[in-house]
């Protein structure tokens, strides 16, 4: 089994970066264009979602607005036919029901396959390590502002 070439790694990094960009922009069609027809989503604490039609419907049901995604510790390993990508993420989001920004922390695993000369995502699985509200920026009380006479 041959190892991934530098070109393969760069292509997979670009797919990953594009995915994150499309996810933040809410461009589900462009995101799904990176996936095989038989894509599998394996969300935490829920049954797998199998196939492009089911994944598209799942994405369309979401009421979450993603404000940003930070990726760290990305690793890409594999052969010239199949690869996997692991990374940690921090996603800042809000929902239609609650506009207060929150953050989710976790990791994801992707499996990609080389088909017709290019890489395509065939499985995405993720975990959520924790959720947190983002503290609001507080203004100093009036007595602490310059020119106060107290």
Query: How far is residue 49's CA from residue 51's CA, in Å, rounded to a whole number?
Result: 7
Query: How far is residue 74's CA from residue 41's CA, in Å, rounded to a whole number?
Result: 19
Instruction: Give me 17's structure tokens.
Output: 């970066």
**Contact present, 97 and 111 (Cβ < 8 Å):** no
pLDDT of residue 112 exceeding 60, the answer is yes
Supply angle C-alpha 117, 29, 68, rounded to 5: 100
Contacts of 13 (CB under 8 A, 6+ apart): 74, 76
CATH number of 6-133: 3.10.450.50
- Edge to edge, the sheet with strand 102-115 lists 49-50, 35-42, 118-133, 102-115, 82-95, 64-78
pTM for the full predicted model: 0.84
Q: Where are the domains of the chain?
A: 6-133
Digit-coded pLDDT (tens) for 30-86: 999 999 999 999 999 899 999 999 999 998 887 788 999 999 999 999 998 999 999
Three-state DSSP state, 12 = helix
């Amino acid at each position: 089994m041959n190892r991934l070439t530098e070109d393969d790694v760069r292509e997979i990094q670009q797919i990953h970066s594009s995915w994150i960009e499309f996810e933040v922009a809410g461009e589900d069609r462009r995101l799904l264009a990176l996936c095989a027809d038989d894509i599998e989503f394996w969300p935490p604490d829920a049954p797998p979602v199998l196939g492009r039609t089911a994944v598209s419907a799942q994405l369309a049901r979401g009421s979450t607005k993603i404000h940003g995604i930070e990726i760290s510790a990305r690793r890409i390993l594999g052969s010239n036919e199949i690869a996997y990508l692991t990374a940690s993420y921090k996603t800042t989001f809000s929902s239609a029901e609650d506009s207060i920004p929150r953050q989710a922390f976790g990791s994801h695993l992707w499996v990609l396959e080389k088909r017709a000369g290019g890489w395509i995502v065939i499985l995405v699985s993720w975990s959520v390590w924790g959720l947190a509200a983002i503290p609001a920026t507080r203004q100093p009380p009036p007595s602490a502002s310059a020119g106060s006479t107290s």
